[in-house]
Structure 1
Amino acid sequence: MENINFKVYTSISNLPENWNAIAASNHFLQTPYLEVLENSAPTNMECFYIGIFENNILVGTLLSQYLDLNKLESFGERDSFFKKHVRNFIFKNFASHVLFLGNNMITGQNAYALSKEIEHKHLSQLLIDCSDALILYFKNKGIKIHIVSFKDFYENNATLFKKHHFKNLYEFNAQPNMIFNLNENWTSKEDYVAAFTKKYRDQYKRAHKKYNGIIEKELSLEDVVSLENRINELYHYVAKNAPFNTFFLADNHFSTFKKQCGNRFKIFGYFLDNKLVGFHTLLLNGEVLETYFLGYDDEIQKNNMLYLNMLYNMTEFGIEHNFKKIIFGRTAIEIKSSIGAEPVYMSGFILHTNSFLNKYIGKIFQNLEPNLEWNQRHPFK
């Protein structure tokens, strides 16, 4: 570790010139996306970009996010009155200042990218050192960080981290990341539909019949700008009715994303009688298709099975454009399994900076994370 150190940056303009080359494996750590965060992050979020150096040569990039949950209008409205208020009380009093090592806005292992292998023994120490530096940064500003979360690691990495400096941290497994590993023999939606059992082929046909009258269109930057108020309205409906939220996107987020990332960021609008009634977004991340935020009119969603049709459309886009897998994230996991996605459990590690409360972090976390019971579907022959 004596030859490895790090530097924290608060502005994209100060990053080393070769930052994108080091972060080449992950679009979510490259400057076009980081500029989206810098220019349109949620109002309760502050982002930090951390360079990892070996002998003063950049060998890694890392993203960290601070969330002030006191600024949040809602943590989610779907849960029961009692559970919602218990959770809100815990957050406001014991967990309102949260530091993430990783990206809290998306699901997946997106915390860091490395140009060379660093042993997990050293990497786990480095992540903790970075969190300590940011805790001190906020302390000097008069802000006490309550919770630190090291976010989203696949099982092999989590196991290795636990052997070293994460061994005393509380490991949590939230709802699974729904991932669709696409069949390499599929080249069209017809191949996809043909692989369904009769039950799920009938579901596909029923959804498309209900879809009648809705027109799907890929939106240009000009379209996104002109429709942004309506896009935000549809997004907020879905976000507020999610079981749990720690942020809401800025009003200019989608247009900023489209402007910064161009054709690597896709936004599709759904129109009924020339009115936007829904949208979904995709990010092209190498051989991986990442689903992003969406929104819809609830009445149209119910009457036209709009959400299910969106999932089919995302899948067909992935097949037709030769992606190897689609990352569908953690929401609506049962319906996602019905179109072919499978659960992949990921680990996070968490600590409370109050040593007494940290002893009970497991019980506290259980009150923050909504319970979920679901049945995995198996749609293929």
Structure 2
Amino acid sequence: MFKVYKNANDLPPAWGEITAENHFMKRDTLKKLEMVNPCKQQYHLHEAKKMALVVYELKLDLFTFSRYLSFKILVRIIGIPLSVSSCGYAIGDQENMEDFHQYIKSLKGFYIILNTQDELKMARGDTLPTYKLKIRWSTLEDYISSMRSNYRYRLKKATKRFSDVKMEVLEDNNLFGEDLYRLYEEVYSRSNEKLEKLSMDFFRRFPSKIIKFTLNEESIAFVQLVEHDKELVFLFGGFKHQLNQDYDLYINMLLEIIHYGIKKGFESIDLGQTAEETKSKVGASKCSKYMCLHHSNSFMNFVLNRLVSRFSYKDYRVAHHVFKGEEDEDPAGEMS
């Protein structure tokens, strides 16, 4: 039987054993999220069959990925109460997958399961893919040199534009101020794929590294990173949109993340979701993600199955051959 917990403090050691591979499902991480992003979190655990899932509530626009439709409704989400690409469930033994399906179907109400792979046999649509970069270079210069000429030229051009910008890692995240938070709000307000808006308290209290970029002593951008074993994860960032073209802010933010990952010896970098074109042009590979929908009402579930394509994200489908040794012809041409 599943047992439901409403407080991460109450989770038994079995939770940690089942979710060990997912940094964002660790008890300490979930405890922090309860403080900085409370959204009626629940934790469902079946110790004997080694199954665990995180559930939270969110008022969501079902047609987030549509330009023309909008319908906001309170839903329960199986996922991490944070806009990351990790899924919110763990199954220790794949032989229990059918039991997991049946448990989700037994839950009352409307559920969305975010960032799944292809193992759940439910009404399914595409959601934002994540972009990952495997690190195989010892310096940033080696990374840039490994690129085909058009991409290499574009990044060198971007770094020259950034020569007057200073970078620093915040010694204490409590130094994350209103100026940086406004940069996050600016990016959030421009986003076409909004989920939840995080508070300034989140950036100050969630365990992470924050790199600040300044120009003439003014904050113009930041990135927030999480170090998880051998992988570096890009969580959130912000930047002055009006300066983006003149200073290639976003490209340089990604380059600094890559530089940080190389220096610190990480094996891979999760550059997160959104901005697919730019991330693919710095050499990151797309990892497709899906979302599954289920409603306990059979008629509503039938409707969801028919409409799931309307909820789905239409992703960026151009293939970029960024590095030497990849295909000789690049249909996408130079970086824009």
TM interval, short-chain normalised: 0.7 to 0.9
- For the 8 Å contact 2:129–2:286, the answer to whether it is kept is yes
Distance 1:280 1:288 in 2: 16
In the alignment, which residue of structure 2 is the partner of 1:32?
28
In the alignment, which residue of structure 2 is the partner of 1:182?
135
Q: Deviations over 1:32-67 (max 9, x none)?
A: 21122100116xx32112222118xxx444222221
Distance 1:241 1:21 in 2: 39
In the alignment, which residue of structure 1 is the partner of 2:100?
126
In the alignment, which residue of structure 2 is the partner of 1:41?
37
Alpha-carbon distance, 1:24 to partner: 2.6
Alpha-carbon distance, 1:305 to partner: 0.6
Secondary structure at the aligned position of 1:193 is classed as helix
In the alignment, which residue of structure 2 is the partner of 1:329?
272
Alpha-carbon distance, 1:216 to partner: 0.9
- Give the alignment's TM-score, normalised by structure 2: 0.86
**Aligned pairs, number:** 324
- For the 8 Å contact 2:37–2:81, the answer to whether it is kept is no
- Give the alignment's TM-score, normalised by structure 1: 0.77
* Aligned-pair identity (%): 24
In the alignment, which residue of structure 2 is the partner of 1:117?
93
Q: Does 1:253 align with 2:202?
A: yes
Distance 1:319 1:306 in 2: 20
Q: Deviations over 1:233-257 (max 9, x none)?
A: 1111111211121211123111110
In the alignment, which residue of structure 2 is the partner of 1:280?
223
Alpha-carbon distance, 1:22 to partner: 4.0
Q: Does 1:154 align with 2:117?
A: yes
Q: Give the AA of the match of 2:4.
A: V
In the alignment, which residue of structure 2 is the partner of 1:303?
246
Alpha-carbon distance, 1:131 to partner: 6.4
In the alignment, which residue of structure 1 is the partner of 2:332?
none
Q: Deviations over 1:180-230 (max 9, x none)?
A: 1222xx111121111011111111111111112111110122xx3233322
Any unmatched runs of 5+ in structure 2?
A: 325-336
Distance 1:370 1:349 in 2: 13
Distance 2:154 2:11 in 1: 49
Q: Give the AA of the match of 2:76.
A: L
Structure 1 runs of 4+ off > 6 angstroms? none
| Aligned partner (choices 63, 74, 81) of residue 54 of structure 2 | 63
| Aligned partner (choices 115, 131, 142) of residue 191 of structure 1 | 142
Alpha-carbon RMSD: 2.6
In the alignment, which residue of structure 2 is the partner of 1:138?
none
Any unmatched runs of 5+ in structure 1?
A: 136-144
Where do residues 86-97 of structure 1 align in structure 2 (5 Å cutoff)? 86-87=69-70, 91-92=71-72, 96-97=73-74
Distance 1:362 1:331 in 2: 26
Where do residues 252-271 of structure 1 align in structure 2 (5 Å cutoff)? 252-257=201-206, 261=207, 265-271=208-214
